[in-house]
Amino acid sequence: MAENEPLKPDEMDHPNHPQIDQSDRVLPRNLRQTGDADIQMLISTRVRKSPFWHLSVEEGCWRATVYNRMYHPRGMIEPEDGGAMAEYDLLVNHVTLWNVAVERQIRVKGPDAEDFVNYVITRDATEIKPMHGKYAILCNEDGGILNDPVLLRLDDDEFWFSISDSTLMQWLQGVNVGEDYDVEIDEIDISPMQIQGPKSVDVMVDVVGEEVKEIPYYGLMEAEVNGCSVLVSQTGFSGEKGFEIYVKDSMENAEQVWNPVMESVKDHGGDVIAPSHHRRIAAGILSWGQDMDHETSPFQVNLAYQVPDDKDADYVGREELERQKEQIENGEYPFEHKLVGLKMAGEPIRDYASDFWIISDPDTGEECGYVTSPWWNPELETNIALGFVPAGKLDDLDTTLDDSVYDEDTDIEFQVHLPDEYAEEPGEPVYAKVSKVPFKPSVNPSAREQAKLNAREDAQE
């Protein structure tokens, strides 16, 4: 080759790692390893500030991201004071207050509310009683997960979708065009905060009274805080004991509710922290955008239990999901990758990953997958992660449709290409084993976890 002659395309290292098969996606994941750009976030009026935003800033918020087109705190304790791992300690040993107003509330209200909601979620909405909630997913016609909200039912004719990080209101409104369900679909002025940790009950007793102890998991209760009307649920994104306070008329009442709750949290040895992704990873709780998106099937990411066999009513995506289920039962996969838990070697990962780190096959060296959510777990004294690996690599395991969740660690190994700051040797991958999920059980097990616990108890009897 002549000096300075440009490389031909087939002679270059492709920046987006084409060895990793993304042929089942229309829009491939961006797997370029760009690292932390160390840039300043622009604060402007194009992105909405929640009514708690200034309160988080006053409490020391030093970094943020954008979630649901709103600014979202992602760092409260400075790195020199322990950073995210100090926040983790407060969560698992004391109590914490989170600004989660980015969980925008989309209300569906009207005579046909139950029928409409039942049409857009995969599970059976008729089984949700008033003043209760459920974790739910909504899929498109291709079976891709559009959102995984906590769905709250306030009355026979009123539901709130407490949404994860994707636009949902316009989709719900669009679904009803031509369907003519008698419902109103709007975003409402309700902003949630979370109180999470083993002392969360003590805080809630302080702010709403003893009756909060009677709320069941996913139960709801109307209450007042400092004269302001709120809705309380026993829910959260942490795997720890916790509650959410949904502040009504929040653009007006934010300070009146936030301040007494924060005071009680601090009185009980806690503090304001950012949402704890290190704990939710340990609990196996998924994050939309990281661990799944609109091109991800529930069967890829441990959510098969959200696709019932016995739902009477039709719903969006049903035909495709039933086709996928039948294909899987026949030993074939309608997708290339499945999500698994991984225990990884390497230096402790004590902050967010800025890229989807590459996974390779240790036998061939071929790139074959990517990590979505990694973190260090102090109880297990190892790095843990969720990541996508080739579905075919899991064939030898005795599994079910939900077969990326295992009851025990396995002997299946991969290599993960960590940034040099976490690698054991710069430039060299570390070993990772496919492991059981959750890594650390939740205080309130999910429906899937509870079913497995019940099965184990039955087997022991």
pLDDT one-digit tens code per residue, 216-250: 999 999 999 999 999 999 999 999 999 999 999 99
What pLDDT is attached to residue 26? 96
Please give the Cα distance from 144 to 331 (Å, whole number).
21
What average pLDDT does the chain have?
A: 93
CB atoms within 10 A of CB 14: 11
| pLDDT of res. 407 | 61
Please determine, for residue 119, whether its predicted confidence score (pLDDT) is greater than 80: yes
What is the arithmetic mean of pLDDT over 96-111? 98
**How much is the pLDDT for 448?**
67
pLDDT of the residue at 12: 53
Question: What's the average model confidence in pLDDT over 416-444?
Answer: 95
- List, for residues 317-329, the tens digit of each pLDDT value: 999 999 999 999 9
Query: Is 70 exceeded by the pLDDT of residue 400?
Result: no
Q: Rounded to an integer, what distance in angstroms lies between the CA atom of residue 272 and that of residue 98?
A: 6
pLDDT of residue 402: 55
pLDDT of 409 reads: 82
Position 7 pLDDT exceeds 60: no
Q: What structural domains does the chain harbor?
A: 324-456 (2.40.30.110)
Give the confidence band of 389 by pLDDT, cuts at 50, 70, 90: very high
Task: Tell me the pLDDT tens digit for each residue of 188-199.
Answer: 999 999 999 999
Question: Rounded distance, CA 340 to CA 130, Å?
Answer: 35
Return the pLDDT at 451: 64
Question: pLDDT > 90: what percent of the chain?
Answer: 87
pLDDT at position 405 is 53
Average of per-residue pLDDT across 135-144: 98
* Predicted pLDDT at 80: 97
For the cut 80, the answer to whether the pLDDT of residue 5 exceeds it is no
As a whole-number percent, the residues of the chain with pLDDT over 70 amount to: 92
User: Stretch 135-161: mean pLDDT, rounded?
Assistant: 98
Query: 105-109 and 132-135 as β-strands: parallel, antiparallel, unpaired?
Result: unpaired
Q: Comparing 103-107, 203-207, 312-316, 401-405, which segment has the lowest mean pLDDT?
A: 401-405
